[in-house]
Amino acid sequence: MNRILQRALGALALAGALVLSTTGPASAEPSSAGSAGAAVAADRAADITPASPELAARLALSCPSGNVCVWPNTGGTSNRCTWTNADADWRSGSVACSWSGTQPVRAAYNNGQSTAYDVVCLYRNANYSGGYLFLFQRGDSWTSSSGVFTRSHRWLAPTTPCLS
């Protein structure tokens, strides 16, 4: 996915957040039907609120330098799962994220330091499959009240699409 499309999705998410802030929170749950990553990302865009690094700090999204972190709550207050590398299966991979099978990701922060691999893609299923759910660049974070069930992630170069 190119940078222009990434920025467009970010703008769409922000616009959706502004609309939701005046109409109340969304109550849609993640779809159980498999779909292409772009469709999943578009479906979820209105519920995902990108956060600036300053907002991430205020929300207590604390993530060690060089890592990507996810939480099952929007405040980043407990049960953080943290990785420095890609993980093809959050339930039995290099880092087992104990809650990922029963709770969706509701907050994430890309605190990576590499300029060569600065995009993180989250995927619905193990082995980077099932459609990507969201991608975010180094320094970006996001929160979602309903969350997204996630099972794998990987770091990519800025010009590499999430789906290969």
Which domains, and CATH codes, for the chain? Answer: 3-156 (2.60.20.10)
Sheet holding 129-137, edge to edge: 129-137, 119-125, 152-156
Confirm if 37 and 133 have CB atoms less than 8 A apart. yes
Q: 123 pLDDT exceeds 80?
A: yes
- Four-point Cα dihedral 120, 49, 51, 122, nearest 10: -10
Q: Which of 125, 96, 116 is nearest to 158 (CA)?
A: 116
Q: 16 pLDDT exceeds 90?
A: no
Tens digits of per-residue pLDDT, 87-103?
A: 999 999 778 999 999 99
Tens digits of per-residue pLDDT, 33-82?
A: 333 333 344 344 444 555 555 554 445 588 999 999 999 999 888 899 99
Q: What are the tokens at 17?
A: 């957040």
0.85 exceeded by the pTM?
Answer: no
